[in-house]
Amino acid sequence: SKEVQKVFLDWWKPQSADLFKYKLLFNVVDCLCGEAISPFNENYVVFKKDCIPLFTEGQLRKFIEDKTNGKVESYYAWDYYTIAIRNTGCGGDDPQCDTEETNLLQAYWKLACMVAKEAVDE
């Protein structure tokens, strides 16, 4: 949904070398000036609000940690990734998600979308 997308866009602070999609083109952030982004090897600027960031595994993990105030711990068991969010200090009480994903990036993406949706629903 647009609301969930907005949660990701509001969190994203573009950095040099971040990947993003603008219209039909995939680009890499070359330099930034406020909300204006200069794509690598291009002579124009685009605005953050018009871009779709393509997050790395590390960025997705950071998003989840920032939004939940916890630390992400992932482990592969029974043919898929389970991701726990450690924020209570004792593992048994921490929330976890059995993602049923065999790819860690997809597992983080699935959980990040759930976290963003919870932020919208609050």
- Ordered by start, the domain boundaries in the chain are 2-54, 57-121
**Is residue 11 predicted with pLDDT exceeding 90?**
yes
What's the confidence (pLDDT) of residue 73? 85
> What's this model's pTM, rounded to 2 decimal places?
0.82
**Is residue 67 predicted with pLDDT exceeding 90?**
yes
Question: How far apart, in Å, are the Cα atoms of 59 and each of 11, 34, 63, 74?
Answer: 10, 20, 6, 15
43-47 contacts, C-beta under 8 A, 24 or more apart: 46/22
Q: What is the mean pLDDT of residues 2-12?
A: 92
Question: How far apart, in Å, are the Cα atoms of 41 and each of 37, 46, 117?
Answer: 12, 13, 35
